[in-house]
């Protein structure tokens, strides 16, 4: 079974209720001023729904069409607009043509260097990039594959075109997430 089929099947088997974004992640998203916002690897849209409800003009991207279908239904249920695109982030040209954004959000997904290298070109001057994903504590507590978890400080120097505004090593605070906030 392909990874796309795996994720589509996973979304088909979920309950008909929207995922709730953990309060810790909500607090970090509140650092982003409303604007044109791109949610990468959005899944079924917990972050996209939260941001759209806060006044962001949302574009949500994922490769799992079933997750995007769920997101569209949840958006309709709460009367917010979210534009969705089925794109594979492993395709180096997938994000070309989307335009430029005030904010880019990546939650619970570890971007590879190829994806990271494309992000500055998608950002307007002054734009923010927020990456929050699992750290090694998450691996230790759940057995989640270590290769999908951030090493301490892993992304600090991987975006030389951007300024690192804030890095939180969550493991030091007992959190399962590390977060990075970059600005252009």
Local confidence band at 47 (pLDDT 50, 70, 90 cut-offs): very high
pLDDT-above-70 percentage for the chain? 99
Pairwise CA distance, residues 5 & 163, whole Å = 37
Please report the pLDDT score of residue 23 as a whole number: 85
| Structure confidence by residue, pLDDT tens digits, 107-164 | 999 999 999 999 999 999 999 999 999 999 999 999 999 999 999 999 999 999 999 9
Q: Which CATH superfamily is domain 3-11+23-183 in?
A: Vaccinia Virus protein VP39 (3.40.50.150)
CB 31 within 8 A of CB 181: yes
Q: Is 168 exposed, middle or buried (0-12, 13-18, 19+ CB in 10 A)?
A: middle
Residue 102 in this model has a pLDDT that exceeds 70: yes
CB 58 within 8 A of CB 42: no
Please report the pLDDT score of residue 28 as a whole number: 92
Q: Where are the domains of the chain?
A: 3-11+23-183
Bridge partners of 151, per DSSP, are none
**Mean confidence (pLDDT) of the chain:** 93
| Structure confidence by residue, pLDDT tens digits, 5-27 | 777 677 777 777 888 888 888 99
Residue 71 in this model has a pLDDT that exceeds 90: yes
């Amino acid at each position: 079974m392909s990874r796309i089929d795996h994720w589509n099947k996973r979304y088909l088997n979920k309950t008909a209720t929207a995922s709730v974004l953990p309060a810790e992640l909500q607090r970090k998203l509140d650092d982003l001023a409303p604007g044109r916002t791109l949610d990468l690897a959005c899944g079924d849209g917990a972050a996209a729904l939260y941001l759209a409800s806060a006044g962001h003009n949302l574009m949500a991207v994922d490769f799992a069409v079933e997750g995007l279908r769920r997101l569209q239904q949840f958006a309709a249920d709460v009367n917010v607009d979210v534009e969705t695109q089925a794109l594979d982030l492993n395709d180096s040209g997938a994000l070309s043509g989307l335009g430029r954004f005030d904010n880019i959000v990546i939650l619970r997904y570890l971007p590879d260097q190829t994806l990271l290298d494309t992000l500055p070109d998608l950002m307007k001057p002054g734009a923010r990039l927020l990456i929050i994903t699992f750290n090694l504590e998450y691996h230790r507590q759940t057995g989640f594959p270590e290769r999908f978890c951030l090493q301490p400080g892993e992304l600090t120097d991987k975006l030389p075109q951007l300024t690192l505004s804030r890095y939180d090593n969550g493991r030091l605070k007992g959190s399962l997430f590390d977060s990075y906030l970059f600005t252009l």
